[in-house]
Amino acid sequence: MNEKPFLTDIQTLRERARTHIEEGAVTPGYQADREQVVKILNDALATEIVCVLRYKRHYFMANGIHARSVADEFLQHANEEQVHADRIAERIVQLGGEPDLAPDSLTSRSHAEYKEGGDLVDMIREDLVAERIAIDSYAEMIRYVGDDDPTTRRLLEDVLGQEEEHADDMKTLLEEMLKGPESRKGRPAEPAASSARRS
């Protein structure tokens, strides 16, 4: 059998783990450029927060125009973008960085834009554009991280998968809206009480 060395020898591993213990999860074996990874994660964090705000705006504005199922979709996406933001912020701290949530610079650091949109179709279209931007930027981040930081990569891959679902949701909604109310008759029943949605 081919003897392929798998790990650094145990003694070296143990010694390395004891140096710089204040760095927590970041060991001397960490392969990526930590500062750069924290920076791209902070840009992603800004993007997620802007997406939360945009979807929330769309949720509340869609409410008034009898578009409950679309509003529900906006709210669900807003909540999922918030989960993305929280997971990214957690990873930043794990890497010894600080999550940048300064509101003044959020929109300039975000990849996606905050677009209020006019009518429902406009809002959905803006959300689809934003999701497509997110998909491209997460794919690029994943390529950048490569094999140097598997935990960050896994996180980015998870988020990317969900952004793709979001884009697909928005594409379907947009198609339905453009086809007119007839096409929405086949949609599953909407939740009865609007109070349930706001809880």
CA 165 to chain CA mean position, Å: 11
**Minimum distance, C-beta of residue 51 to Fe ion, in the bound complex (Å):** 6
Question: Smallest distance, Å, CB 149 to Fe ion?
Answer: 19
State both tokens at 190. Answer: 């909407």
CB of 77 to Fe ion, least distance (A): 6
Task: State how far the alpha carbon of 177 is from the alpha carbons of 10, 73, 120, 121, in Å.
Answer: 61, 14, 8, 7
Nearest to 79 by CA among 61, 52, 57: 52
Full DSSP string of 16-51: HHHTTGGGTT--TT--S-HHHHHHHHHHHHHHHHHH
Round to whole Å and give the CA distance between 138 and 161.
Answer: 10
Nearer to Fe ion, 81 or 126 (CB): 81
Instruction: Return the number of other C-beta atoms located less than 10 Å from residue 192's C-beta.
Output: 8
Q: Which residues of the shown chain bind Fe ion in the complex (CB under 5 A)?
A: 48, 81, 84, 131, 163, 166
Spatial CB neighbours of 133, under 8 Å, sequence gap ≥ 6? 47, 111, 112, 113
In the bound complex, what is the minimum distance in angstroms from residue 152's beta carbon to Fe ion? 15
Residue 126 or 131: the one with the smaller Cβ distance to Fe ion is 131
Q: How far is the CB of 131 from Fe ion (least distance, A)?
A: 5
